[in-house]
C-alpha cells in the first residue's frame, strides 16, 4: 500500500469517528444538569439549615424575654399587693416619702445605663444585676402609687391591664400589620405626651381639672398600648425592624415599662384616690 493510500485510509477513519461522535445519542437532562442540580441542592440545604437556626435563635430569644418579664411582673404584683393590702406597709410607705424619690433616682439611673450602654446591657451578670435594681425600684414606685388608691380600684386596674396586655400581645403576634414601620409617628406622640405632661405638672397644682387629668390618662394608656405592640413586634423578628437576639435585657426592659405605664394610666382612669397627692 502506497503512502497516499495510507493517508486516505487514515483520513477516512477519522471522518468516520467524527460522524459517529456527532450521531451518537446526546446526554440526558439529568446527566447534563447533575452537577448544577447537586450544587443547587447543596445551596438549598445550606439555606434551610441557616434559616432553621435563625428561627431557633429567635424562638429562644422570645422565650427568654417573656420568662424574665414574668418574674418582673410577679415581683411587681407582690410589692403592689403588700402596699395595698398590708396596713403596716401602707402606713410606712406613706410616712416615708423619701424612699419614693430614692426609688425614682435608682429607676432613672438604671434606665439610662441599660438604654445607653449597649456593651454593659449585653454583659452577664451586670445586665441582670442592673435589671433587678431597675425592677425593684419601679415596683416600689408602682406600689407606693397604688397605696394611695382604693383597694378595689387597684384590683380592677390590675385585671384590666392584664387582659389588655394579653390581647395586645396576642394581636401583635397574629396581625400582618407592621407597626414597626410607624416608629416616627410613635416618637412624635411620645414627645407630645411628654410636653403635655410637663404642662399639666405645672398647671394642675394651681387649678385642678379632673377631666383634663382623665383625658391625659386615656391618651397615655392608648399610646403605651401602641408602644407595647411596637416592642412586641420588634422581638418577633419578622417585621421591617427587628431587635437583635443579644438584646434580651433591653427587650424585656421596654415591654416591662409599657405594661407598668398601662397599669398606671388605667389606675388613674378607673381608680378612686384616697389622697390627692404623694406628700
Mean pLDDT of 87-107: 87
pLDDT exceeds cutoff 60 at 48: no
Mean pLDDT of 221-243: 83
Cβ–Cβ < 8 Å for 154, 146? yes
**CA dist., res. 228 & res. 171, Å (int):** 11
Residue 75's pLDDT is what? 92
pLDDT exceeds cutoff 80 at 76: yes
DSSP per residue, 142-183:
HHHHHTTB-HHHHHHHHHHHHHHHHHHHHHHHH----GGGGH
Give the predicted TM-score (pTM) of the model.
0.74
pLDDT exceeds cutoff 80 at 7: no
Q: How confident is the model at residue 77 (pLDDT cuts 50, 70, 90)?
A: very high
Would residue 85 be called left, alpha or beta, if left means φ above 0 and alpha means ψ between -120 and 50 degrees?
Answer: alpha
Q: Sort 243 into a burial class: Cβ within 10 Å, 0-12 / 13-18 / 19+.
A: buried
Amino acid at each position: 500500500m502506497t503512502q497516499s493510500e495510507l493517508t486516505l485510509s487514515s483520513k477516512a477513519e477519522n471522518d468516520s469517528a467524527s460522524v459517529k461522535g456527532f450521531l451518537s445519542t446526546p446526554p440526558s437532562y439529568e446527566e447534563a444538569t447533575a452537577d448544577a442540580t447537586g450544587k443547587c441542592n447543596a445551596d438549598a440545604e445550606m439555606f434551610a439549615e441557616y434559616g432553621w437556626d435563625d428561627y431557633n435563635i429567635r424562638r429562644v430569644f422570645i422565650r427568654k424575654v417573656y420568662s424574665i418579664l414574668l418574674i418582673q411582673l410577679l415581683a411587681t404584683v407582690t410589692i403592689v399587693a403588700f402596699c395595698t393590702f398590708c396596713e403596716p406597709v401602707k402606713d410606712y410607705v406613706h410616712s416615708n416619702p423619701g424612699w419614693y424619690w430614692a426609688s425614682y433616682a435608682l429607676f432613672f439611673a438604671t434606665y439610662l445605663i441599660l438604654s445607653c450602654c449597649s456593651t454593659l446591657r449585653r454583659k452577664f451578670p451586670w445586665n441582670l444585676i442592673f435589671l433587678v435594681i431597675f425592677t425593684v425600684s419601679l415596683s416600689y414606685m408602682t406600689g407606693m402609687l397604688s397605696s394611695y388608691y382604693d383597694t378595689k380600684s387597684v384590683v380592677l386596674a390590675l385585671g384590666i391591664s392584664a387582659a389588655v396586655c394579653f390581647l395586645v400581645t396576642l394581636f401583635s403576634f397574629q396581625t400582618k400589620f407592621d407597626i414597626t414601620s410607624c416608629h416616627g409617628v410613635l416618637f412624635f406622640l411620645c414627645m407630645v405626651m411628654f410636653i403635655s405632661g410637663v404642662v399639666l405638672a405645672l398647671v394642675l397644682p394651681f387649678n385642678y381639672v379632673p377631666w383634663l387629668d382623665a383625658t391625659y390618662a386615656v391618651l397615655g394608656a392608648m399610646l403605651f398600648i401602641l408602644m407595647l405592640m411596637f416592642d412586641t413586634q420588634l422581638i418577633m423578628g419578622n417585621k421591617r425592624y427587628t431587635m437583635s437576639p443579644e438584646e434580651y435585657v433591653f427587650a424585656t426592659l421596654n415591654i416591662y415599662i409599657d405594661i407598668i405605664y398601662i397599669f398606671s394610666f388605667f389606675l388613674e382612669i378607673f381608680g378612686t384616690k384616697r389622697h390627692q397627692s404623694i406628700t
